[in-house]
Amino acid sequence: MAANVLNSSQAVEMSVHVVRAFVRMRHLLAAHKELTGKLEDLERKVGTHDEQIQAIFEAIRQLMTPPEPKKRKIGFLVRERAARYGRA
Q: How confident is the model at residue 88 (pLDDT cuts 50, 70, 90)?
A: low
Q: How confident is the model at residue 1 (pLDDT cuts 50, 70, 90)?
A: low
**Whole-prediction pTM:** 0.37
Give pLDDT tens digits for 15-27. Answer: 888 889 888 888 8
Three-class HEC string of the chain: CHHHHHCCHHHHHHHHHHHHHHHHHHHHHHHHHHHHHHHHHHHHHHHHHHHHHHHHHHHHHHHHCCCCCCCCCCCCCCCCCCCCCCCC
